[in-house]
């Protein structure tokens, strides 16, 4: 029985980790159609922001939940103003620009912090479930993923801000005609996407440590999840994470971690072959 | 004697030529006062934590030899190359060291891939090569000397030690490339030889950072101990997640690779992990204490590993052989090294094994404790039995390959 619980918990944890690493990208790519190849580096920057703040004496929770998203969010706004705003609607060009940005960020962080691993210990200790133990922090991350999804959905569904954002993404010209400034909306949305990435980067730092090149470990999975999810950014990301995370964990338990990764990729390939527009391109089309 | 204009021109030209050639001749003569030695170590990129300390110990060894009067009446000039953790630069710099600088010996290479990139090249250019990193074993080539330990030397001692301490059921986790694969086989062999059982072996690509499922799998398998041959920056996450789940208090860990990780992880995360290497900082000898003090103080390296210390031994082994051969000629130096060359230093006694060009060395079992390793037990003069099973350079001096050692389990 306890084994079943721990297995279920592990699946939730894998799903949550996919949700978390994809969320910032879902906003930037899913809403704004900017192929942000520097997404992994946004996460990396969040990790460094959290660890640096923590080492400077800031409370760990403050460092992860406030300093990391603020730093990366501001950085995102600056990047949007300087680079991205010139490239809206030019998919390939945003790809090149953000790829260059990612290389520059890796280089810059390497120069400042050195190409070595830094890290902090995970807080909260451990949980005992029957004969098994798991890190309480992993459970906390599942909770964070749920909160972020719920908050994102509420903002988009119930607030004026969400309505304006959705309207601008659908038809910027019409939104402008109704008195909304699209460039402001774009900048804020990009900043929020970056801040989400920064938050997650900070939250993941205690588990994975940070190194300037850690972004490479996240970027592929984030893109696979968002693209498999399809047009509805929140429900799409959540459903795709649920599917791919479950397959990955099940295969890891049944076989080996390598097979787990392979299973995830094969599942994504099959999914996109059957549903080229992603899951929400066919089902739940009116979801958010 | 008539002085034609043409004659004047030629003599002046010749004179000018001689004058301008002068400094070049002199510079060449001065270059002969040095014996050039090359070090190729990654001091930037992902491997820099190892490369930097290897450069430091090599510099220390060369300074010591020069302070004691140099070699054959000449000073050693150390040329350091930084291949930036990039294999392509390895071949470029090895070629430059061998052809442009015509160095007497090359020390270097960290990963097996970098070694296999430059080993054939240096053999072709008849340049002696020292590889000072612990690796999976099996290289058989008369032009190379491998001073680091191989699995048969360390795993053979580590496995029975931890099995006696903790129990017979072993769960192995290893990096998914040749080092991890081969080491996992040795772990299995020695576990079985000692009457135990490897319940499961899991391999991880080098970029995996999420070990959650594996930590639960290990709990389900209920082993007496976990043997780790994880490698690199991403895999450090395992030790963090293991401790975060509280598992470090339930199932003990042993490792063939946990070395410099002790600097990056916290004491709560690494205390109690048992390792085996040919060198540990905690070796309690006066010579090692002085060595560690110099490296920490003068070079600012926080923690020393086998790689750096064996680089230090390697340079001294080569220098002693040059003195004995009274020449830097490659074949004469190889001859002197094969005649049982031996050096006693911070890692204990290291002796060249003529048959395999590997070393007979002291192996230390240590326990991680508060960012250091304490030595629990030492085994003197362990032979490189794994490579010796496939390689005999006395019988086949022209052998030139890395054998994949077939581990019978």
CA of B111, closest CA in chain A: separation in Å?
17
In terms of Cα–Cα distance, which of B143, B99, B153 is closest to B306? B153
Residue A261 touches partner B, C-beta closer than 8 Å: yes
The two three-digit tokens of residue B153, written as one number: 């030397």
Residue A246 touches partner B, C-beta closer than 8 Å: no
Q: How many percent of chain B have pLDDT more than 70?
A: 91
Q: What is the pLDDT of residue A20?
A: 93
pLDDT class for A46, splitting at 50, 70, 90?
very high
**Domain range summary for chain A, segments of one domain joined by +:** 2-282
In terms of Cα–Cα distance, which of A143, A195, A145, A132 is closest to A5? A132
Is residue B198 within 8 Å of residue B254, measured between CB atoms? no
> Considering Cα of A49, then A55, then A58, then A60, what sign does the dihedral take?
positive
Here the ipTM equals: 0.79
Cβ–Cβ contacts within 10 Å for residue B117, how many? 18
Q: Helices in B32-86 by DSSP H: which ranges?
A: 48-67
Contact B240 A258 (CB under 8 A): no
Average pLDDT over residues B226-255: 88
In terms of Cα–Cα distance, which of B217, B161, B268, B166 is closest to A255? B217
In terms of Cα–Cα distance, which of B78, B123, B58 is closest to B331? B123
CA dist A19 and A89 (Å) reads 26
pLDDT reading at A165 higher than 90: no
Helix axis angle, A257-274 to A233-254, nearest 10°: 140
Is residue A161 within 8 Å of residue A155, measured between CB atoms? yes
Looking at 3.90.1150.10, 3.40.50.720, 3.40.50.2300, 3.30.160.270, the CATH number of the domain B152-277 comes to 3.40.50.2300
pLDDT reading at B27 higher than 50: no
Residues 6 or more apart from B52 whose CB is under 8 A from it? B41, B43, B301
Is residue A16 within 8 Å of residue A218, measured between CB atoms? no
Q: Which residue of B has its CA nearest to A215?
A: B207
pLDDT class for B32, splitting at 50, 70, 90?
low
The two three-digit tokens of residue A206, written as one number: 């205690």
pLDDT class for B10, splitting at 50, 70, 90?
low
**Domain range summary for chain B, segments of one domain joined by +:** 34-149+284-361+383-402, 152-277
- Per-residue pLDDT of B337-363, as tens digits, reads 999 899 999 999 999 999 999 999 999
pLDDT reading at B204 higher than 80: yes
- Per-residue pLDDT of A197-239, as tens digits, reads 999 999 998 888 788 888 888 898 899 999 888 888 888 899 9
CA dist B216 and B221 (Å) reads 9
Q: What is the pLDDT of residue B21?
A: 46
Element (H, E) at B270: helix B267-270
Is residue A248 within 8 Å of residue A264, measured between CB atoms? yes
Q: Which CATH class is domain B34-149+284-361+383-402?
A: alpha beta
Average pLDDT over residues B281-301: 90
pLDDT reading at B29 higher than 50: no
Q: What is the pLDDT of residue B8?
A: 55
| Cα atoms in the 13 Å half-sphere on the side-chain side of B325 | 21
Q: Which residue of B has its CA nearest to A260?
A: B213
- The CATH number that domain A2-282 falls under is 1.10.3470
Q: Which residue of B has its CA nearest to A117?
A: B233
Q: What is the pLDDT of residue A19?
A: 93
b/e map of B302-331 (b: 16 or more CB within 10 Å)?
Answer: ebbbbbbbbbbbbbbbbbbbbeebebbeee
Within 8 A of B264 by CB-CB distance, chain A residues are: 116-119, 209
Average pLDDT over residues B283-289: 91
Report how far Cα B217 is from the mean position of its chain's Cα atoms.
Answer: 34
- Among B48-52, B117-121, B238-242, B323-327, the range scoring the smallest mean pLDDT is B48-52
Contact A209 B46 (CB under 8 A): no
CA of A10, closest CA in chain B: separation in Å?
6
Q: What is the pLDDT of residue B20?
A: 47
Contacting A with CB below 8 Å, chain B residues are 44-46, 48-49, 176, 202-205, 207-210, 212-217, 219-220, 233-234, 236-237, 240-241, 243-247, 250, 264-266, 268-269
- Per-residue pLDDT of A7-33, as tens digits, reads 888 889 889 999 999 999 988 888 888
- Per-residue pLDDT of B55-99, as tens digits, reads 999 999 999 999 998 888 899 999 999 988 888 999 999 999 999
> Does the fold of domain B152-277 match that of domain B34-149+284-361+383-402?
yes
**Please, what is the average pLDDT of chain A?**
87
Q: Which of B213, B245, B266 sits opposite A121 (nearest CB)?
A: B266
pLDDT reading at B25 higher than 50: no
Whole-model pTM?
0.81
Is residue A167 within 8 Å of residue A177, measured between CB atoms? no
Q: Which of A14, A121, A253 sits opposite B217 (nearest CB)?
A: A253
């Amino acid at each position: 029985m306890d084994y079943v619980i721990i297995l279920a918990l592990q699946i939730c944890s894998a799903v949550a980790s996919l949700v978390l690493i994809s969320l910032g990208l879902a906003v930037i790519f899913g809403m704004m159609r900017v192929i942000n190849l520097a997404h992994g580096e946004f996460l990396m920057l969040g990790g460094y922001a959290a660890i640096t703040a923590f080492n400077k004496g800031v409370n760990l929770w403050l460092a992860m939940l406030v300093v990391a998203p603020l730093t990366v969010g501001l950085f995102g706004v600056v990047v949007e103003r300087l680079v991205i705003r010139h490239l809206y609607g030019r998919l390939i060009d945003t790809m090149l620009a953000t790829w260059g940005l990612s290389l520059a960020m890796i280089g810059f962080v390497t120069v400042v912090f050195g190409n070595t691993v830094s890290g902090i210990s995970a807080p909260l200790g451990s949980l005992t479930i029957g004969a098994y133990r798991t890190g309480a922090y992993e459970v906390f991350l599942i909770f964070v993923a749920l909160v972020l999804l719920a908050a994102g959905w509420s903002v988009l569904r119930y607030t004026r801000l969400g309505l304006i954002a959705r309207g601008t993404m659908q038809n910027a010209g019409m939104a402008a005609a109704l008195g909304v400034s699209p460039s402001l909306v774009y900048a804020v949305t990009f900043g929020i996407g970056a801040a989400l990435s920064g938050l997650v980067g900070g939250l993941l730092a205690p588990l994975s440590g940070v190194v300037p090149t850690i972004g490479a470990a996240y970027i592929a999975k984030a893109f696979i999840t968002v693209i498999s999810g399809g047009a509805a950014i929140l429900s799409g990301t959540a459903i795709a994470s649920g599917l791919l995370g479950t397959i990955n964990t099940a295969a890891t338990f049944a076989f080996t971690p390598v097979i787990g990764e392979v299973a995830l990729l094969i599942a994504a390939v099959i999914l996109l072959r059957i549903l080229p527009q992603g899951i929400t391109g066919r089902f739940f089309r009116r979801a958010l | 004697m008539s002085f034609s204009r043409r004659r004047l021109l030629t003599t002046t030209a010749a004179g000018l030529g001689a004058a301008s050639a002068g400094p070049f001749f002199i510079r060449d003569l001065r270059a002969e006062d040095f014996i050039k030695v090359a070090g190729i170590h990654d001091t930037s990129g992902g491997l820099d934590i190892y490369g930097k300390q290897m450069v430091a110990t090599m510099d220390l060894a060369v300074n010591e030899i020069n302070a004691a009067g140099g070699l054959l009446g000449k000073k050693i000039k150390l040329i350091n190359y930084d291949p930036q953790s990039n294999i392509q630069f390895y071949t470029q710099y090895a070629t430059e060291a061998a052809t442009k600088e015509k160095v007497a010996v090359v020390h270097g290479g960290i990963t097996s891939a970098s070694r296999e990139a430059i080993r054939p090249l240096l053999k072709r250019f008849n340049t002696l090569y020292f590889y000072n990193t612990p690796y999976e074993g099996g290289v058989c080539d008369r032009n190379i000397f491998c001073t680091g330990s191989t699995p048969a030397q360390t795993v053979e001692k580590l496995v029975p030690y931890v099995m006696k301490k903790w129990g017979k059921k072993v769960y192995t986790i290893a990096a998914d490339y040749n080092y991890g694969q081969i080491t996992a086989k040795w772990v299995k062999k020695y576990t079985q030889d000692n009457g135990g059982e490897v319940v499961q072996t899991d391999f991880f690509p080098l970029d995996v950072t999420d070990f959650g499922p594996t930590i639960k799998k290990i709990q389900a398998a209920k082993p007496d101990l976990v043997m780790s041959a994880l490698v690199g920056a991403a895999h450090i996450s395992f030790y963090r997640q293991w401790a975060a789940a509280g598992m470090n208090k339930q199932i003990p860990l042993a490792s063939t690779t946990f070395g410099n990780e002790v600097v990056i992880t916290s004491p709560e995360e690494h205390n109690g992990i048992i390792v085996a290497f040919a060198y540990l900082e905690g070796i309690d000898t006066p010579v090692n204490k002085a060595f560690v003090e110099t490296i920490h103080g003068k070079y600012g390296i926080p923690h020393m590993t086998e790689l750096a210390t064996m680089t230090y031994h390697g340079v001294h082994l080569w220098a002693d052989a040059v003195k004995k051969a009274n020449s830097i000629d490659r074949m004469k130096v190889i001859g002197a090294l094969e005649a049982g060359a031996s050096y006693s230093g911070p890692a204990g006694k290291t002796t060249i094994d003529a048959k395999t060009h590997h070393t007979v060395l002291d192996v230390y079992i240590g326990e991680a404790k508060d960012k250091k390793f304490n030595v629990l037990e030492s085994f003197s003069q362990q032979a490189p039995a794994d490579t010796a099973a496939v390689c005999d350079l006395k019988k086949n001096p022209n052998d030139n390959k890395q054998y994949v050692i077939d581990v019978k389990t």
